[in-house]
Amino acid sequence: MVRVDGRNFSKILSDFEKPYDEKFARIMVNSAVAIMKEFNATLCYIFSDEANFYFQHEIFSRRVEKINSVIASMFSSSFSLAIGKPVSFDSRIIHVPENLLVEYLSGRQKECWRNHLNAYAFYKMLEKVKNRNEAQRRLTGMKSALLHDFLFERGINPARTPAWQRRGILIHWVQEERRKIHQGKEVVFTRRVLKQNWEPPLFWTEEGKNYLSTVTGVVGNGL
Ligand SMILES: Nc1nc2c(ncn2[C@@H]2O[C@H](COP(=O)(O)OP(=O)(O)O)[C@@H](O)[C@H]2O)c(=O)[nH]1
Ligand SMILES: [Mg+2]
């Protein structure tokens, strides 16, 4: 797994909609697509300013510096071209054997959910206290259930926000059937294309595991 994370994005995204901006999410997705096509990653899981690329083959003969620097620079340059100013992403490698794939992705998806509650609560709290430090201080230590109640009372049902904000976005390859006319006859053929799923299942459920199994071709072994 190679994970990139935007540097200083709380500042960089100050002109974007808060707490969530679909335009920003689309730029993350498009930058990830560039990497997936170039290096044939099996899947990518995105939320907030991070993207997790899963590789089932060797790239750069497993040379760590090469992988991290090239993935980070390609992601950063795609993103920068899209927003018109220079930004940077860091990159790290996490060794995830097949039997821990579900656990790894579930961990990131739980982080996505916590982020989501915090992000909405933070901006609601800011309406009350008008000071970022004070808003953060009041939220620190609030358990999920309390954050839920806090949001409910202010008209936000955190179970009904757009799915990509709660669950993240999964990009993966699918075989798509195409048809064409060749010498007067219809020919059916398949092509490998990237699919963006903005409503992925919860990865630790049966549905989630089956989905990941289909996408990665891993059968059994934790899936
Ligand atoms: N305005 C806006 N900000 C976002 C969005 N998604 C993520 N962010 C910001 O990106 C930050 C990412 O967190 P983190 O990587 O820990 O902070 P960083 O060190 O500033 O990059 C969050 O704290 C948010 O402020 C979005 O959709 N809109
Ligand atoms: Mg960041």
Cα separations in angstroms, 125 against 31, 48, 154: 32, 20, 10
Answer whether residue 50 is part of any domain.
no
Nearest CA to ligand 1 atom 11: 10
> Measured in angstroms, how far is the CA atom of residue 191 from the centroid of ligand 2?
35
Nearest CA to ligand 1 atom 19: 8
**3 state DSSP class of 216:** helix
In a domain, 84, yes or no: no
118 within some domain? yes
The answer to whether residue 133 sits within a structural domain is yes
Q: Take residue 11 and report the two structure tokens written for it.
A: 């500042």
Atom number in ligand 1 closest to CA 24:
27
Ligand 1 pocket: which residues have CB below 6 Å?
5-10, 13, 16-18, 20-21, 24, 48-49
Strands ordered across the beta sheet of 2-6 = 89-93, 2-6, 50-54, 43-47, 169-182, 185-197
* Nearest CA among 18, 17, 91 for reference residue 51: 91
> What is the pLDDT at residue 94?
98
Identify the helix (H) or strand (E) that includes residue 9: helix 9-12
Name the residue at shortest CA distance from atom 6 of ligand 1: 48
Q: What is the pLDDT of residue 223?
A: 73
Pick the residue whose CA is nearest to atom 22 on ligand 1: 10
Residue 138 lies in a domain: yes
Confidence class of residue 213 from pLDDT cuts 50, 70 and 90? Answer: very high
Domain assignment present for residue 134? The answer is yes
Contact present, 89 and 7 (Cβ < 8 Å):
yes
pLDDT reported for residue 141: 83
Instruction: Work out the pLDDT band at 219, boundaries 50, 70, 90.
Output: confident
Is 158 inside any structural domain? yes
Quick one: pLDDT at residue 143?
86
Give domain status of residue 43, yes or no: no
| Cβ–Cβ under 8 Å, residues 88 and 72 | yes
> What band does 145 get if pLDDT is binned at 50, 70 and 90?
confident
Q: Ligand 1 atom 3: the closest Cα is on which residue?
A: 13
- Measured from the alpha carbon of residue 123, the closest ligand is 1
Long-range contacts of 93-100 (CB under 8 A, 24+ apart): 93/1, 93/2, 93/3, 93/64, 93/67, 93/68, 94/1, 94/2, 94/3, 95/1, 96/1, 96/54, 98/216, 98/218, 98/221, 98/222, 98/223, 99/221, 99/222, 100/222
For the stretch 28-52, pLDDT in tens is 999 999 999 999 999 999 999 999 9
Instruction: Give the residue, out of 18, 49, 126, with the most ligand 1 atoms within 8 A of its beta carbon, to mutate for a pocket test.
Output: 49
Q: Looking at the predicted structure, is the pLDDT value of residue 156 above 90?
A: yes
CA atoms of 69 and 89, how far apart (whole Å)? 10
Please confirm whether the linkage preceding 19 is cis (ω < 30° from 0). Answer: yes
Domain total in the chain: 1
Instruction: Could you list the beta-strand ranges (E) of the chain.
Output: 2-6, 43-47, 50-54, 89-93, 169-182, 185-197
Q: Which domain holds residue 128?
A: 104-165
Whether 179 has a pLDDT exceeding 90, the answer reads yes
CA dihedral (146, 147, 150, 156) in degrees, to 10, reads -140
- Counting ligand 1 atoms within 8 A of each CB, the residue from 5, 9, 12 with the most, and so the one to mutate, is 9
CA 112 to centroid of ligand 1, rounded, Å: 12
